Amino acid sequence: MTTADVVVTGTDARVRTVAVTGEVDLSNVAGVEDRILDATGNDLLGLVLDLTGVDYLDSTGLKLLFTLAVRLEISQITLELVVAPGSSVQRVLEMTGVGESVPMRTAD
């Protein structure tokens, strides 16, 4: 079974940091999306999505990121992705052009 965890880690009430850990594929992407949306009210100014703890992210996870980015842009909420340097998630995001449309930085 594919499992992933979604937790709110930041302390800033206006720019929320949400960390996803584990694996994301078709079997659990809906739950992951739901929990990210739960953590993202329309009162936020920005969302930082920390993907450093994600070991596996397939095209369904990419679709989630693209959809989220489009929707947040309409709502004028900024989105930033954080990935582990040299990780497979970073490569996938760069290869598929997510990095072109969403600000992305590597974790320190």
Please report, as ranges, the residues that interact with another protein according to CB under 8 A. Answer: 36-37, 40-44, 68, 71-72, 74-77
Q: Which helix (H) or strand (E) holds 90?
A: helix 88-95
Q: How many CA atoms lie within 13 A of 97 on its CB side?
A: 2
Shortest distance, position 85 Cβ to another protein, whole Å: 27
Nearer to another protein, 1 or 74 (CB): 74
- Residue pair 46/77 in contact by the 8 Å Cβ criterion: yes
Nearer to another protein, 60 or 78 (CB): 78
Nearer to another protein, 9 or 76 (CB): 76
Shortest distance, position 89 Cβ to another protein, whole Å: 20
- Give how far Cα 96 sits from Cα of 22, 36, 60, Å: 20, 21, 12
